[in-house]
Amino acid sequence: MNQPSPRNILRWFDPRHRQPGTWAFILNRITALGLTLYLAMHLIVLGKLAQGPAAYDSFVALAHSPLVKIGEMLVIAAGILHGLNGLRVAITSLGFATRYQRQLLWASTILSGILILIFARAMFLGG
């Protein structure tokens, strides 16, 4: 239990007693898993094109349901959070602005929040 082991992987997702760097680390992994799941679902849906217009049309009708819209919003949010935090990690991981990683984290989180709100407004209010 106390020694390193790949079986400890769930500890990666435990934010208790840890600082913002770990919260960003956890968020990046959750959003990466979400985006990977979305990619798989996206490929499955694209596969419906091969099944003809009827199969694809029935999916397009489903895509207008509120639940799918919320799912799409989650994908956009995950992409923004993962992308901007990924930029922060890429910059600081090569020795640039490493001392300011925490400030970069807050900046990327605030910017993510603003972009998510803009997208949410466009998706749900049509503006």
Partner 1 sequence: MPTLWKITLEILRQRQNQPPHVELFELEVDPDENVLDCIERVWAFHDRSLTFRHACHHSTCGACGMRVNGVEKLTCITPVREVTHPNGVLRVEPLRNFPVLSDLVVDVSGFFQRMEQTQLSSIAPLSQAKLPFEPNPPTIWQGQRLIDCIECGLCVSACPAANTSTSYFGPAVLAAAQHVYRQTNNPTVMQLVNCADGLWRCHSAYECSAVCPSNVDPAWRIMDMRRATVAHSLRNIFKRPNQKVAP
71 is an interface residue for partner 1 by CB under 8 A: no
DSSP code of 19?
Answer: -
Phi and psi at 52, nearest 5°, equal 105, 170
65 is an interface residue for partner 1 by CB under 8 A: no
* Cα–Cα distance measured from residue 46 to residue 75, given in angstroms and rounded to the nearest whole number: 17
Phi and psi at 18, nearest 5°, equal -110, 170
Stretch that binds partner 1, among 5-13, 37-45, 50-58, 115-123 (CB under 8 A): 5-13
- Interface contacts to partner 1, rule CB under 8 A: 1-6, 8-9, 11-12, 16-19, 21-22, 24-25, 89, 92-96, 98-99, 101-102
